């Protein structure tokens, strides 16, 4: 692999867009188990908070069947820009949303949302067209089934988006375990049950030194 093909996430250049994680739309997700999906969304939110990444929340047509935003997201990001779109399906068609993205001055976008082939794909393709680097968090995005998910991921990847998981995002931003073992390890343990065993072993080993 040529070095220039590795577009690495940088915590000083990245922002996070959480698109339409709304009660009604969340109920449509069938390609990931509901409890696992919610955990993944909150894990990505915790990653964004941990690395202090500018984060933008947005919803579409809350007064309709899409419903309200996950309350946990507003609790994690009480001061984040929250764009309640009155009807635009593609978040990039909303001037306030695009203005919030541009106001960060950053060019790397980490995005997740519901549903993958619409609420994630459309703004991803729009942002790529304007020169942004876009990283799609596949396990914090959901849709009806594997067929629609795979088609959406292929479409975005063909346009230049990178497909990642929330765990990969965290690792790439952190770069080096020595930066903060307990902090990142604690975040992983919170969202990955098996990772708690690693941290417990590490804590015991550290205490014995």
- Of 169, 171, 111, whose CA–CA distance to 141 is shortest? 111
Cα–Cα distance measured from residue 33 to residue 103, given in angstroms and rounded to the nearest whole number = 35
User: Which residues carry out catalysis?
Assistant: 119
Q: Are 143 and 29 in contact (CB under 8 A)?
A: yes
Cα–Cα distance measured from residue 187 to residue 195, given in angstroms and rounded to the nearest whole number = 10
Q: Cα angle at 43 between 42 and 47, to 5 degrees?
A: 115
């Amino acid at each position: 692999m040529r070095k220039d093909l590795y577009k690495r996430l940088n915590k000083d250049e990245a922002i996070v867009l959480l698109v339409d994680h709304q009660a009604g739309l969340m109920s449509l997700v069938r390609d990931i188990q509901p409890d696992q999906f919610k955990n993944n969304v909150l894990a990505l939110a915790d990653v964004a908070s941990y690395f202090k990444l500018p984060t933008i929340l947005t919803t579409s047509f809350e007064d309709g069947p899409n419903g309200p935003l996950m309350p946990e997201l507003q609790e994690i990001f009480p001061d984040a820009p929250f764009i309640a779109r009155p009807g635009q399906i593609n978040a990039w068609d909303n001037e306030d949303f695009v203005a919030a993205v541009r106001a960060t001055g950053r060019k790397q976008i980490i995005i997740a949302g519901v549903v993958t082939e619409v609420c994630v794909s459309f703004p991803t393709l729009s942002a790529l067209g304007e020169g942004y680097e876009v990283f799609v968090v596949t396990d914090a995005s959901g849709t009806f089934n594997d067929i629609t998910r795979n088609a959406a991921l292929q479409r975005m990847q063909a346009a230049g988006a990178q497909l990642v998981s929330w765990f990969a995002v965290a690792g790439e931003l952190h770069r080096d375990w020595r930066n903060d073992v307990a902090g990142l390890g604690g975040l992983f343990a919170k969202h990955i049950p098996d990772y708690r065993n690693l941290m417990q072993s590490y804590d015991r080993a550290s205490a014995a030194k």
